[in-house]
Amino acid sequence: MRIQSLPTQLINQIAAGEVVERPSSIVKELLENCFDAGATQIHIDVEQGGIRLIKIRDNGCGIVQEDLPLALSRHATSKISSLQDLECVSSMGFRGEALPSISSVARLTLISRVAEADCAWKVAADGSEKDFDPQPDPHPQGTTIEVRDLFYNTPARRKFLKTEKTEFAHIENLIKKMALSRFDVGFILNHNHREIMNLKPAVSVFEQESRIARICSSAFIENAVTIDFEASGMHLSGWVGLPTFSRSQSDMQFFYVNDRLIKDRLVTHAVKQAYSDVLFHGRQPVFVLYLNLEPTLVDVNAHPAKLEVRFREGRTVHDFIFKALHRSLADIRPGQQEHETQPGNLAVETFVPLPASVASPPSMARQQTFSTSNSSPVQTSLPLQVAEEIDAYTALYPVNAQSLASSPVAQESQGAPPLGYAIAHLHSIFILSETEKGIILVDAHAAHERVSYERLKQQYHAGTVPTQPFLLPIKIQVSAAEAELAEQQHEAFLSLGFEINRSGPETLVLRASPALLQKEDMDSLIKDILADIVAHGMSQRVLEKSNEILATMACHGAVRAKRKLTVTEMNALLREMEKTERSGQCNHGRPTWIELTTSDLDRFFLRGQ
């Protein structure tokens, strides 16, 4: 066939294949337009899961009458006008494809009014980009878009749609995600003339947390830690779930870049690495996080539906997210204190929480809890009052340690530490401790395992990585590209403890490795490190392998079950837990302690009822 120009409507239908996958795709595009219009209230009416009707009304700035035909034409937009604008996009939409693409596969009606206009103007479109006939309408300021009979003219695509219930579930989930990105906007969702969701604008921190609780459940906000870090022009804020509050699926992970909901492998990898040392195997962390950075540092034009972005400095972004979350999770321990920072810019290597007035708003200053149900024992983050060294603590018990430890008078006069004072060693496994608020049960082996593990990590990583030369160098066969990469990353491998050289187009020679990894399969390890560098620009393999060995050493060195501990030993362990990072979980992600408050005990025994 001869080369020919495609009809305009067909061009828009082809574009719709990339933009309009299902009704929720339309809702996403239209909501982003509402955000860009400065709307503070959005009404969404849906019928038959969006297949019959999607109607979205906002109170934004509106569109002037003369621009209505352009709004329904391809590649027409008010968001950008030059390549320079495209390189620093700050709006949600900018391609100018959404409305003409939608109108080519559905019956679209657009009504809009600007503040200074005498009336609104209404126009219909069919994707052909012609025969526009604006008509006056009494619509208030803002814009309403009606999309009826989706895929009425492309029946083959309509067959791929799921049931009404499934399609509406996609819409509802999308609106929840969008609502988390814009707390300043109110959302009302109706399905088949029945109100499903009504979210008012959330200005205060309490209102924002209430919205998160409605969308992600109250259990999430009760088991979350506030994140607020800033460095090198990047700001990470939001909420992350405590390690023992996790899910089997990754369905409660929301990440926003400059208010845009995204899915990114680099971000996922950074979060996974941050949780690697505290999360129970097979579980997924939960989080609602917001990353803000200069628009020039992120390319939002990497995906037609704008679901993915490309960071210009991916390694820097990865390290920032990882270290910010890693440090926050490390600080979750009994008696954690707020870190103080000096005003000024922080280097990218320095990740310190902002002052308490910024990082911990009043409603988040309450104690955080682990809990699987309202009636379960919980693990709380207790305010630090005593943080003595073991020797200083032991001096408090000169002769009759057991009687003194259990004495309420002693506790009141000296101030009970966060994990209290040991009372008994139950079944030679659990430490029973009394606190000012109730009692605490500690798994002695798990707690000692974490304490020992953290001490070993500090000792191992305090200096340069100890290396062990091989008596006979190991030859590793790789691809030419991998050999080239290994040669380029020679200094990086040296910093990891590997002495590796290229001896041929597809051959590497390994002459030394970290002493701790002598029994590892070096061939597989080197190839895995190279694969990580290709995918993420860095590798955590050596750190992970080292930590696995250190964790095994800590496990074998920890106090064994059935070994009876003295009161002094139990109290010494409690004091160590209070000053050890990540002491709330053992090396395998299991909780090390739980708390029962006096209120819990009263409820168990029906006291006061």
* pTM given for the model: 0.70
Asked if residue 295 has pLDDT above 80, the reply is yes
- The model's pLDDT over 75-86, given as tens digits with 9 standing for 90+, comes to 777 877 777 777
Q: What is the mean pLDDT of residues 381-390?
A: 37
Whole-number pLDDT of residue 286: 93
For residue 280, what is the DSSP state? P
Residue with tokens 């459940």: 217
Bridge pairing between strands 186-191 and 107-113:
unpaired
The answer on pLDDT for 374 being more than 60 is no
Range 400-420 average pLDDT = 55
Instruction: Note the pLDDT tens digit of each residue in 317-368.
Output: 999 999 999 888 887 766 553 333 222 233 333 233 333 333 333 333 333 3
pLDDT tens per residue across span 163-178 = 999 999 999 999 999 9
Please report the pLDDT score of residue 128 as a whole number: 76
> What mean pLDDT do residues 394-398 have?
42
In the block, tokens 């050999």 appear at: 483
| 3-state DSSP of 500-552 | EEEEECCEEEEEEEEHHHCCCCHHHHHHHHHHHHHHHCCCCHHHHHHHHHHHH
Question: What's the whole-number mean pLDDT along residues 550-562?
Answer: 63
- Nearest Cα to 43, choosing from 160, 162, 196? 196
Where does the pLDDT of residue 542 fall: very low under 50, low under 70, confident under 90, or very high at 90 and above? low
Domain ranges of the chain: 8-199, 205-367, 382-609
How large a percentage of the chain has pLDDT more than 70? 78
Distances from the Cα of 347 to the Cαs of 26, 320, 404, 424, 604, in angstroms? 42, 10, 48, 47, 51
Minimum mean pLDDT among 50-59, 127-136, 361-370: which range? 361-370
Predicted local confidence at residue 184, as pLDDT: 95
Average the pLDDT over 273-277 and give the result.
84
For domain 8-199, say whether CATH 3.40.980.10 is its number: no
Of 238-247, 276-285, 527-536, minimum mean pLDDT range:
527-536
Q: Are strands 120-125 and 135-137 parallel, antiparallel or unpaired?
A: antiparallel
Statement: residue 392 has pLDDT above 50: no
Give percent of the chain above pLDDT 90. Answer: 36
Domain 382-609 has CATH 3.30.70.980: no
Query: Would you state the structure tokens that stand for residue 308, as one six-digit string?
Result: 């993915």
CA distance 383 to 389: 17
Give the least confident one: 197-211, 344-358, 570-584.
344-358
pLDDT digits (tens, 9 = 90+) for 331-341: 776 655 333 32
- Inform me whether the pLDDT recorded for 307 exceeds 50: yes
pLDDT of residue 497: 75
Better-scored residue on pLDDT, 583 or 393:
583
Asked if residue 28 has pLDDT above 90, the reply is: yes
pLDDT of residue 389: 36
pLDDT at residue number 348 = 31
- The C-alpha atoms of residue 16 and residue 95 are separated, in whole angstroms, by 13
Given a cut of 80, whether residue 398 has pLDDT beyond it is: no
CA dist 401 and 413 (Å) reads: 16
Q: Give the integer Cα–Cα distance in Å for 218 and 371.
A: 11
Average pLDDT over residues 554-567: 72
Please give the average per-residue pLDDT across 473-480, as a whole number: 91
The predicted structure's pLDDT at residue 541? 64
Question: What DSSP letter does each residue of 283-326 carry, written as one string?
Answer: -B--EEEEEE--GGGEE--SSTTS---EETTHHHHHHHHHHHHH
What number is the average pLDDT over the span 263-288? 87
> Per DSSP, what are the bridge partners of residue 398?
none
The CATH architecture of the domain made up of 205-367 is 2-Layer Sandwich (3.30)
Q: Which residue has the higher pLDDT, 381 or 456?
A: 456
- Cα torsion angle, 511, 515, 519, 524, sign: negative
Torsion 252-258-264-270 (CA) sign: negative
Confidence band for 401, pLDDT divided at 50, 70 and 90: very low
Q: pLDDT per residue over 206-250, tens digit each?
A: 999 999 999 999 999 988 889 999 988 899 999 999 888 888 888
Res. 35 pLDDT band, cuts 50 70 90: very high
What's the pLDDT score for residue 24? 95
Least confident span in 185-194, 390-399, 468-477: 390-399
- Of the two residues 24 and 559, the one the predictor is more confident about is 24
Question: pLDDT averaged over the chain?
Answer: 80
- pLDDT score, position 514: 78
DSSP 16: H
**Do the beta carbons of residue 352 and residue 339 sit within 8 Å?**
yes
Mean pLDDT to the nearest integer, 34-41: 94
Measured CA to CA, the distance from residue 518 to residue 569 in angstroms comes to 35
- Which pLDDT score is estimated for 211? 95
